[in-house]
């Protein structure tokens, strides 16, 4: 992962959002629409804009801030790899304390 997006977007404030997305993906039959629904639901439940969820998630999934739409990106990465990459991002946030 590039340091700049990681430092900017993988902040403690993103931790509960990433965890909520991760929890929403577990056991989900992953389609582009279902993935987008999880991200939209997390943003709505947290009362934040989609970007507050999508940008740290995008960095967790791809290591960068540019990608296709977040639903497409999740679908392309696949559920298992997405969960593993989110877990890694959560560990990075925790380790930076």
How many H-runs (helices) and E-runs (strands) does the chain carry? 6, 0
3-94 to CATH, choices 1.10.10.350, 1.10.490.10, 3.60.21.10, 1.10.10.10: 1.10.10.350
What is the structure's pLDDT at 20? Answer: 98
Torsion of CA 65, 6, 57, 74, to 10 degrees: 70
How do the domains of the chain map onto residue ranges?
Answer: 3-94
Per-block average pLDDT, block size 10, for the chain (97 residues)?
A: 71 97 96 97 98 96 92 97 98 89
With residue 80 as reference, give the H or E element that holds it: helix 79-96
pTM: 0.92
Residue 91 to residue 44: CA distance in whole angstroms: 25
């Amino acid at each position: 992962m590039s340091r700049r997006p990681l430092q900017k977007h993988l902040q403690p404030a993103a931790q509960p959002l990433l965890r909520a997305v991760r929890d929403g993906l577990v056991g989900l039959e992953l389609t582009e629409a279902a993935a987008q629904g999880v991200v939209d639901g997390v943003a709505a439940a947290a009362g934040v804009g989609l970007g507050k969820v999508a940008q740290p998630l995008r960095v967790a999934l791809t290591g960068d801030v540019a990608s296709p739409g977040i639903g497409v990106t999740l679908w392309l990465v696949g559920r298992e790899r997405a969960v593993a990459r989110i877990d890694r991002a959560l560990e990075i946030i925790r380790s930076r304390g």
